[in-house]
Amino acid sequence: MRIVFVFLFVAGLAAVGAITARAQDNAGQQAVATIIQNQLNAMAAGDRAKAYSYAAPFIQQKFQNPDIFMEMVTRGYAPLIAPQAVEFQRFEASGGRATQAVMLVARDGSAWMATYFMQQMEDGSWRIAGCQLEKLPGGAV
């Protein structure tokens, strides 16, 4: 009887741990999606300073100010500026880092997969540490 109780207690703790981890993943995914969407909204509105504020510190250091940052986005990541549609997909997180896949339809109707690389800050907030764009086959959707 005692062995059964110990087993049930340990199994219950494992279940609580799994539920807690899942809740933390969901909270992390929601926080990451919010940061990405906020940056997309800022870029669509032409708010360079706000868009720049969502970048990780090392990205901000590399591009020095909002104008230089947005010039880089305009030249290399134009599909991220005012997309017609945005759909958040696969999310993975581990050890203060996360990746978020985002399918989007650019202004010209072309379909893209953006993989965002996220970095968690010491205060628990998330910042965008990079983005890889891949044009999806089939041209415009």
Taking residues 34-51, what's their average pLDDT?
Answer: 99
Mean pLDDT over residues 40-58, rounded? 98
User: Considering only 7-21, 26-40, 63-77, which range has the smallest mean pLDDT?
Assistant: 7-21
| Euclidean distance between CA atoms 108 and 115, whole angstroms | 20
Question: Would you place residue 26 in the very low, low, confident or very high pLDDT band (cuts 50, 70, 90)?
Answer: confident
| Under 8 Å between Cβ of 46 and 108 | no
Q: What is the mean pLDDT of residues 23-44?
A: 90
pLDDT score at 21: 45
> Do 28 and 14 contact (CB within 8 A), yes or no?
no
Cβ neighbours of residue 36 closer than 8 Å, sequence gap 6 or more: 54, 88, 100, 102, 116, 128
Average pLDDT over residues 7-16: 50
Of the candidate ranges 15-24, 65-74, 93-102, 128-137, the one whose mean pLDDT is the lowest: 15-24
Assess contact for 105 and 119: CB atoms under 8 A. no
The predicted pLDDT at position 138 comes to 72
* Domains by residue range for the chain, with CATH: 2-140 (3.10.450.50)
pLDDT, tens digit, for every residue of 80-112?
999 999 999 999 999 999 999 999 999 999 999
**Nearest C-alpha neighbor of 94 from the set 10, 32, 19:** 32
